[in-house]
Structure 1
Amino acid sequence: MKNSLFIKAALSQETERPPVWMMRQAGRFMPEYWEIKNKYSFLEMCKTPEIAADVTMLPVDLLGIDAAILFSDILVTGEAMGGQLSFEQGVGPRFANPVQNLKDVEALEVDVLDRLQYVADAIRVIQSRLSKLGDQQIPLIGFAGAPFTVMSYLVEGGSSKDFKKTKLFMFNQPEAAHKLLQKIADVTVDYLNMQIAAGVNAVQIFDSWALALSWDDYREFSHQYIQNIISRLNRTVPVISFCKGSSVFAPIMAEAKPDVVSVDWNADIRNIKSKLPQGIAVQGNLDPFVLYADKAVIKDRILRIIERMRGEKGFIFNLGHGIMPDIPFDNVKYAVEVIKEFRY
């Protein structure tokens, strides 16, 4: 992968243009995704390697993206540990047996890698397909959910707007919360190292709900576990750290020594980069809502970010969070084209 723009940028090397991929790039905004989704449940799609490969390849084939990301979900680790996971249309993920106390935490298992082998199988199928693209060298990104975010789903029993149950669990049962976070971290280390062994070319840790935390609570209940995970990974591939809240938490995130900090859309990405240690790249940070706008607006906002990063090594173009399901496909394709046409 030495000629991959994405890998070069992730390692803070010079590139002739920023590489581009987008969080949730294989998803509900694509008609072709729905052709598959209407035949299978979401978990069936994740757990059937050939189907996961089909979905992973959609943005490679249809958008010309510079990196593929494994089609899976951040909650498969929680399910493997003993969470009774389901996905309900219009509702999202649900755990039927939410964690409420130390006894529930102790019941969760950590020696669960055999239950996640379908992910390694999918990686091998995807890499077989990517290898047939010849000289394009499209890397595959693996990923996992960060311990705090996975914990929030296990405790809330699903999505939450205020994370009240999670915060009360942290504040009133800190021993149980820390034990749960360490269990998730241990599973995540095994899981990501399995993905690396299976052939991914980079990994990303998603802390989707870190923005719910105060500075001190982020350090105690999120950062230290991400730091623990990254320190135990087989660092043969670049590691990306993402959280909603990175515009605030980036200085702490850098302490975990990722190769890349993925920036949400609330910050000036050049300012964030300037405050990070030398050799840490940045990824981001277009507001995904821009992709609803007219094409002239999309182009203007993209070029503003790229121009802001001119002269900086280590920049991957991405969104500040994932693509929403009703964003027009043509707008996403146009955005990719604008980025790929740019030259420094």
Structure 2
Amino acid sequence: MSTTLQNDLFIKAALSQQVERPPVWMMRQAGRFMPEYWEIKNKYSFLEMCKTPEIAADVTMLPVDLLGIDAAILFSDILVTGEAMGGDLSFEQGVGPRFANPVRTWKDAENLSVDCLDKLQYVADAIRVIQQRLDGRIPLIGFAGAPFTILSYLVEGGSSRDFKLTKLMLNNEPELVHLILQKIADLTIAYLNMQIDAGVNAVQLFDSWANALSWNDYHTFSHKYNKYILANLKRTVPVISFAKGASVFAPVMAESNPDVISVDWNADLLNIKKSLPAGMAVQGNLDPFIMYADKPVIKAKIHELFERMRGENGFICNLGHGIMPDMPFDHVKYAVEVIREFRY
């Protein structure tokens, strides 16, 4: 795949090959911190943007054209799988995602559909449009939400600070939880393989709320299903495993055999890298809040990370989590420029 790309730094780093500088992309790089995003968002609902291939392509291309990053990521949302399974999904301004029909009983769980890949066809259509627009400039990353993270939204009915309902179900009705997780995992395998068939150059599994789990619960309710997903993917493109909590769970995540582990900012990235099997790359792990800081601080923090990782193959620069909506665009752009100018 990398031979057809004009810029294949990201693919090379994901496969732990030597590169002249760390490649960079940023989670939520096509988002609300861009005025150009709002020009589109003010005309359409969030789900309309996701489900209209041409609009999804427009948004995906914004950071490609405006930031000059080394990889694009499909504009979509992790919760589209939950919606396809039967969730009544909406996005409310200032509130976030909502499922009007939360999953809390055996009947709710049994009603969740797995044979619903056709409802996600718009994602494959968007991938094809985006790849036409990219025309081999840089790789395109596809993605899906990990089962535990999707389950938490389905059970809570939206975002949660404490995951009280989810944890209550984990503790009191673990078999019900396993039923839901297995269904999500089966759909996620089909969904990611569909994205690979449609032409993405890499995929990332987002376990955004893994850090809500204890060590034992992470093994039982997250890792087990993530490992199952990765074991059943068409491994023709690099696979990235992201967890908020990777600073703690990275040694367990490695058992799933991803090509890359994406690490939050609570760990020393080199220590994590050295603890992983040889040839497994790392992604991260700048604290996103650096992007609010003065530009000399941004540059110093990036160089500090890069000097720490000097001599290590298999390093993709990213944030430990996503860009926040109020981060100054010119600070993010400056960070990318600093990264692109760096040389080992």
TM-score w.r.t. the length of structure 1 is: 0.98
Alpha-carbon distance between aligned partners in 2 of 1:267 and 1:303, rounded to the nearest angstrom? 17
1:76 equivalent in alignment to 2:80: yes
Which deviations, in whole Å up to 9, do the C-alpha atoms of 1:26-57 show, x marking residues without a partner? 00000000000000000000000000000000
Distance in 1 between residues matched to 2:8 and 2:98, nearest whole Å: 38
- Aligned amino acid, residue 164 of structure 2: K
Corresponding residue number in structure 2 for 1:141: 141
Question: Alpha-carbon deviations, 1:159-202, whole Å to 9, x = none?
Answer: 00000000001111111100100000000000000000000000
Number of aligned residues: 340
Q: 1-side partners of 2:116 and 2:318: how far apart?
A: 32
Give the aligned residue type for 2:39.
E
Picking from 106, 112, 115, the partner of 1:108 is 112
- 1:103 deviates by 1.2
Q: Distance in 1 between matches of 2:37 and 2:139?
A: 21
Matched, 1:236 2:240: no
CA displacement, residues 195-254 of structure 1 (integer Å, 9 cap, x when unaligned)? 000000000000000000000000000001000000000000000000000000000000
SS in 2 for 1:120: helix
Distance 2:112 2:64 in 1: 37
User: What corresponds to 2:180 in structure 1?
Assistant: 180
Paired with 2:86 and 2:153, the residues of 1 have a C-alpha distance of 13
The 5 Å alignment of 1:263-278 reads 263-278=263-278
Deviations 1:36-95 (A, max 9, x none): 000000000000000000000000000000000000000000000000000000000000
CA contact (8 A) 1:143 1:204 kept: yes
Aligned pairs for 1:213-252 (under 5 A) are: 213-252=213-252
Structure 1 segments (4+ residues) deviating >2 Å: none
Cα distance per residue 1:258-294 (max 9 Å; x no partner): 0000000000000000000011100000000000000
| TM-score (ref. length: structure 2) | 0.98
**Per-residue displacement from partner, 1:113-155 (whole Å, max 9, x unpaired)?**
1000000000000000001xx6xx3000000000000000000
* 1:101 to partner: Cα distance: 1.4
| Structure 1 match to 2:123 | 119
Q: Which residue of 2 aligns with 1:162?
A: 162
Q: Is the 8 A contact 1:101 1:173 kept in 2?
A: no
RMSD: 0.6
Q: Identify the residue that residue 317 of structure 1 maps to in structure 2.
A: 317
In structure 2, C-alpha distance between the alignment counterparts of 1:198 and 1:169, rounded to whole Å: 36
Superposed counterparts of 1:286-325, under 5 Å: 286-325=286-325
Letter in 1 for 2:36: E
- For 2:267 and 2:62, locate their aligned partners in 1 and report how far apart those are by CA, in whole Å: 30
Kept in 2, the 8 Å contact 1:253–1:261? The answer is: yes
Paired residues for 1:36-47 under 5 Å = 36-47=40-51
Matched residue, 2:12: 8
User: The residue matched to 1:144 in structure 2 has which SS?
Assistant: strand
- Percent identity between the aligned chains? 79
**Aligned residue for 1:171?**
171
